[in-house]
Amino acid sequence: MWSGVRVAAVGLAVALSACGGEPIAPQPTPEGVSLRADRTTDVVTQAPHATELLVRNNTSTAIVVAKCEVAETPGLVIVVGFSIEKQQPDGSWSLLTEGVVPSPACAAPPRRDIGTTVPPRQEVSAMFGLVPQMPGRYRYTLSYFASDASAELTQLTSPTLTVTAE
């Protein structure tokens, strides 16, 4: 039994000496709210698919990811809460409207009551965003409300998603 403990102690000592002899301290998470997709690269495929959009709320109060109605048909309300932008050759970003279902144009202003609540100090899957099926660099943008009665929206932009041909 003691030989196993000694081996573990020696292994820990070697690991600590390899990194300067001091344990690595955990890095603090920055204060604020951020958006990320569950991947940074993807490939054009035959079937449409989605990426999970995750919102991290590293503040002391809950927030609500804003969503809006895109279309309403009897018994069905299509709700969207994000837009997709494509990077142009000159480095600028433009709203992607072709090939996006549903269209990113909202039929009404963003609403809090159909949004996704993100509790303080947590990361939540807010929604799924379609992956554009043409090569290029894309980013997702969404907005959120502070949990108070304020109607002011704050915008979040994800890191770039690079889509390549197979």
Q: What domains does the chain contain, in order, with CATH numbers? A: 29-164 (2.60.40.10)
Partnered with residue 128 across adjacent β-strands are: 52
- Burial of 82 (C-beta count, 10 Å sphere; 0-12/13-18/19+): buried
What is the pTM (predicted TM-score) of this model? 0.69
pLDDT at residue 151, as a whole number: 66
pLDDT digit string (tens) for 29-58? 567 899 888 988 999 887 878 888 899 999
**What pLDDT score was predicted for residue 162?**
94
Alpha-carbon dihedral angle through residues 11, 13, 15, 16, given to the nearest 10 degrees? 160
Do 158 and 141 meet the contact criterion of CB atoms below 8 Å apart? yes
Q: What is the mean pLDDT of residues 56-85?
A: 77
